[in-house]
Amino acid sequence: MFRYAIAYKPFDVECRHGEPKDAPTLTTWGIPRDLHAAGRLDLDSEGLLLLSNDGELLHRVTHPNFNHSKTYLVLVRGHPTAEDIVHFREGIAIKTGLTRPSDVEILHSPPPLPAFDQPQPAPEKTTWLRIVLFEGKKRQIKRMTAALGYTTVRLVRVAIGPLTLPADLPPGGWRDLDPVERKVLLDWVWPHGRRSKTPPRPTSKPVARPDRRKPKPRR
């Protein structure tokens, strides 16, 4: 039976199963080993994880061909300009290639997020951005901001498609999706219903092929 869950990955937690080495892991939280994340978050990132044992769903959510959105709240050092926002929306050349266009907006007040115990610049020296990606290149947001001259100070994923990070889910917390969330997720991934991987059986007998053998010569 397929299972779907969400978690709030805290800062400095590895997005994998297994025994902790340098940092806690998903196993440390008590998350079952058969529940895997749909798109990892870096060690120094935090926020929403979608977890499942449904391999087809994990593929569809993460593969760029399906163009599924992921939303992030990003604190950067400095103050991006209107020209910078245009670059985000048109695509930015980074180490792994040109990024797809992103939806970006400047937030004029800090978003309601859990307290962050890492060193941060003074608020007047930083800017919050809301960034929506439609792909998942390695360390993409940090590389995008760096390409424009801004250091990412904090990065929080708050949504995967229509599935949002619940306000009452604390860092390190996780739970199974409720029935409404589950339906929203499946309808988003398969708007026309899940297609079976099993090829359909023929509904009629195959047409006999004509006998192409050469006729025997008459005696």
* Catalytic sites, residue numbers: 42
The residue written with tokens 């008459």 in the block is 218
Whole-angstrom Cα distance, residue 126 to residue 106?
11
Q: What is the DSSP string of 152-184?
A: EEEEEEEEETTEE--TT--TT-EEEPPHHHHHH
Question: Which parts of the chain fold into alpha helices (H)?
Answer: 26-29, 55-62, 82-90, 140-147, 179-189
Element (H, E) at 104: strand 103-107
Distances (CA, A) of 202 to 125, 197, 205, 206, 207: 67, 15, 7, 8, 11
Distance CA 37, CA 6 (A): 9
Q: How far apart are CA 188 and CA 193, in angstroms?
A: 10
Vertex 71 angle, CA 124 and 152, to 5°: 35
Other beta carbons within 10 Å of 183 = 11
